[in-house]
Structure 1
Amino acid sequence: MKNLARSITTNQVGIHQNLEKVVLRHLNSESQKPLSEHTKEAYQAAMEWLGDWQGDLILDSCCGVGESTANIALAHPNAKVIGVDKSAMRTEKHHVYSAQTNNYLIIRADLQDFLRLLVLEGKRLHKHYLLYPNPYPKSAHLQRRWYASSTFADIVKLGGDFEVRSNWKLYIEEFAAALNIANIQSTVTQVQGNTPMTPFERKYWESGQDSWKVTATLSKA
């Protein structure tokens, strides 16, 4: 018997009442969180891997085991793709999902710090994927969601074509609302197709759950 995914349960009804206040506060301030040493080392390793690359750079944030990163790299053979996840347990499983292509890298790092380092060094993205992050569905945990954290400002600054997926439609709707607060137009649609990008997406579909996405062009380099 397959291990089916549980549906999202939440005590929140509709867009969070504090979303606009929280998003505006983060957009108008700078994060003071110290950068972790292990992420600075991972970032340096990623920059050494990139070398003098001047072409398209794609980021797969919260990449988990990196199946999505490999899929993205295969779909964009003329780009360099970096998958980032904080869990060593997940990134160390990537060998099961690896692809026969040399245009991508999987690293373990704190995403919040990694994105800040990219911004501080003036990097810009061609595309940015955020596939099935933890939605933190409890109303009290709003600020743990990416669009309601200081990281949202860095996501916007990095630019590129941006795509977020989730099996919780409200998460996607709130992400779209946060983008709107930042004066960025976005589109919310149901994910269509037969080929899942991640193990999570596969598990949700096998459980009969729909998944949703928000897409936006943050800016072009």
Structure 2
Amino acid sequence: MFANSSIVSSRQLGAHPRLDELVLRHLWQPFRKPVSAASQQAFATLAAAIAADPRPRVLDAGCGTGASSLQLARLHAGALVIGVDKSAARLDKGMRAAALPGAPENVRLLRCDLVDFWLLAAAAEWRFARQYLLYPNPWPKPEHVMRRWPAHPVLPALLHCGGTIELRSNWRPYADEWTRALSLAGQSWHIDCLVLQAESPLTPFEAKYQASGHALWRVRTD
């Protein structure tokens, strides 16, 4: 069934108690993760292909099959939407959909580790008009807090790439952690419970969560 998604279950009922400590550490200490050769090559190929493109750039972080990237390309028709995901199988579906007649032309799908991509984009001084983090894996176990973007060491690189940053999640603690991380980084933000009666879901997950009766949370930087 389509509307059969379970509510996120976790022992953690609010923001993680170590969140402030982790975010402040990441903001002050450089993230020295080595970037893979495959990520460097993928980023270099994309950078060369869009070097002369004057359009504002929109990032769809963790785009999966690219369905969200195509939706964003329609929503931001004057921008270049870049969808990044590490799964070749998921992106292959997106490539086929992007090649269909009537698909928007202002979209690029890139296979790359997302952490590597943010590190490379920040080092290259890329700036995005918008960044979308649409329903990232919530990693709801408390011991997995550093796998979530609010507490991940790549956070400074993500923020360095700028723009209006929008996170959507069906787990309220994730949204709360994101708002706290933004505040600690000096960013202003607002949060609301997303109601999709007047707009189409941006991702298949969003459509499924909505049909399953989940509350959907949206956090946007100003």
Q: Pick the TM interval, shorter chain.
A: over 0.9
| CA distance in structure 1 between the partners assigned to 2:129 and 2:153 by the alignment | 21
1:209 shift after superposition: 1.1
Question: What is residue 7 of structure 2 aligned with on the other side?
Answer: 7
| CA distance in structure 2 between the partners assigned to 1:76 and 1:19 by the alignment | 33
| TM-score (normalised: structure 1) | 0.94
Superposed, which structure 2 residues align to 1:1-221 within 5 Å? 1-2=1-2, 4-95=4-95, 97-98=97-98, 100-194=103-197, 195-217=200-222
The residue type equivalent to 1:16 in the other structure is H
| TM-score (normalised: structure 2) | 0.93
CA-based RMSD: 1.4
| Count of residues in correspondence between the two structures | 217
Percent sequence identity over matched residues? 36
1:119 shift after superposition: 0.7
1:95 shift after superposition: 4.4
1:32 shift after superposition: 1.2
In structure 1, the gaps of 5 or more residues are none
1:2 shift after superposition: 3.2
In structure 2, the gaps of 5 or more residues are none
1:13 shift after superposition: 2.6
The farther-off stretch of 62-71 and 85-94 is 85-94
Q: Is the 8 A contact 2:72 2:81 kept in 1?
A: yes
1:186 shift after superposition: 0.9
The farther-off stretch of 51-60 and 77-86 is 51-60
